[in-house]
Chain A
Amino acid sequence: LQTKNYRQSAV
């Protein structure tokens, strides 16, 4: 399971 979440931010 990919524990590394990836965050996405709107700028």
Chain B
Amino acid sequence: DQGDLPLERRVLLRRSPNGFGFNIVGGDGDEGIYISFIQTGGVADKSGELRKGDRILSVNNIDFRGVTHEDAATVLKNCGDTAELHVIYKYDDFIRFENR
């Protein structure tokens, strides 16, 4: 299982016709962007290197720390065939979205 993933990772994803196969939440103020859902069988799932609760720090070296939700989604939808995600596992920060 993904218990042995390092907390901080750089993950390279190749876009499929359905995108990268994960959902994001956050981007309100500088709370950050988090992976909230990973589609089974999608690119992110198949990579085995991303997990729900990961905070996305950058995409293709575009800083995601203070980005808005809108801009984050736009970058991820238009970043071309591959996305290099710099992520850090922050489940305890992510969990507040689940409790809203």
Binding site for B on A (CB under 8 A): 2, 4-11
A-facing residues in B46-78 (Cβ within 8 Å): 69, 72-73, 76-77
Grouping DSSP codes into helix (H, G, I), strand (E, B) and loop, the B interface class, with mixed when no group exceeds half, is mixed
- CB contacts under 8 Å to A, within B10-52, are 19-20, 22-28, 36-37, 39
B77: nearest chain-A partner, CB-CB = A11
The answer to whether B36 and A8 have CB atoms under 8 Å apart is: yes
Q: B24 touches which one: A2, A4, A11 (CB < 8 A)?
A: A11
In the bound assembly, the distance between CA atoms of A11 and B20 in angstroms comes to 6
B25 and A8 contact, CB distance less than 8 A: yes
B22 lies within 8 A of A11 (CB)? yes
